[in-house]
Amino acid sequence: MTRSRACAAAAFIVLLSAAAAVPVSAGAAAGEAAATKAKPKVERGLASWYGSKLHGHKTASGEPMDRQKLTAAHRKLPFGTVVEVTNKRNGRKVYVTITDRGPGKRSRIIDLSPVAAAQLGMKKKGVTPVEVRPATFE
């Protein structure tokens, strides 16, 4: 280790230990607690469902698509995320796990498996307005 790196490492350790010694005020702790109770992000838009002909094909997460599972495709949410999808026309809700990327059409925010679409009562219509929010199990 060069002399400059040794000095930088020593300075970092001193700063780290000094920061650890600073007490947290009650106001800061309360502010952090309030920040953790922020409202989850809700997405509003159109949902569609993808056809049974994709049954058995690998999804972007690597697992095969199963038309009998409550799964969905979303552009950004991490694989394995469970979301609550609410049909805005009839109020029905379903919890799905994100296993794929999509939908292909930019005007839609989520693609649902056939069984999830059936539970929302949207299978015949094909596309419906929905709200998508992270699932909370309280």
Q: Which domain holds residue 31?
A: 3-36
Q: Are residues 53 and 90 in the same domain?
A: yes
What is the per-residue pLDDT across 41-88, written as a single tens digit (0 to 9) for each?
A: 999 999 999 876 677 778 888 888 888 999 999 999 999 999 999 999
Looking at residue 90, which CATH number applies to its domain? 2.40.40.10
State the Cα–Cα distance between residues 79 and 99, nearest whole angstrom: 5
What is the domain count for the chain?
Answer: 2
Tell me the backbone φ, ψ of residue 60, rounded to 5 degrees: -65, -25
Q: Are residues 65 and 102 in the same domain?
A: yes
What is the per-residue pLDDT across 24-44, written as a single tens digit (0 to 9) for each?
A: 444 444 454 444 555 679 999
Q: Are residues 47 and 29 in the same domain?
A: no
- The pTM (predicted TM-score) of the whole model is 0.69
What is the per-residue pLDDT across 85-138, written as a single tens digit (0 to 9) for each?
A: 999 999 999 999 999 998 989 999 999 999 999 999 998 889 999 999 999 876
Q: Are residues 61 and 119 in the same domain?
A: yes
Q: Are residues 20 and 84 in the same domain?
A: no
Among residues 110, 62, 104, 69, the alpha carbon closest in space to that of 87 is found at 110
Burial class of 79 by CB neighbour count within 10 A (0 to 12, 13 to 18, 19+)? middle
